[in-house]
Structure 1
């Protein structure tokens, strides 16, 4: 499928305008008001809900292996979860997961 230059710019401007309006609805309209406690309680779980949805496809269906399950990525993900539970430290979790990813890649490929 091929798009003309006008179509591409229309899409870019439309997405930019949509993004701006979405941010304005939160920051411009309710940005200086106190939110109810129940809303704040639910907002605490936003990252916990979004991150697995973003990361899971990268582990189970990686583009680098054309969508097939990769033991290197799966092993690194399991190790990262274990490190996270054991240390409760985000920095150690990130670097530990990266180290396991590189080590498994070196050992298995």
Structure 2
């Protein structure tokens, strides 16, 4: 078993969702994950928050969820738009499942800079 060093006092060490424990995803790997969200019929939603507040349950919603969006490039563009508008914030993508009424998946795409 591996122990991942993580603490509330060190924002750089914090882990968020499953992909945080893996090496950073390449652009192609990210496209595959977004395609998975689309293939499942989940609605993509982009959120962001300051690094010091990322452990909390509240993240800011970037616009409304992208209901019915199936274009991976459009989803990637909204992620980029959020990151450009909030370059110091963490940015994550959720796949919202209408039937289970929960997030089917969640992944941090960009990690913000800590102060």
TM-score, length-scaled by structure 2: 0.27
Rg bigger for which structure? 1
Structure number with higher strand proportion: 2
Q: Which has the higher contact order (CA 8 A, sep 6+)?
A: 2
Structure number with higher helix proportion: 1
TM-score, length-scaled by structure 1: 0.28
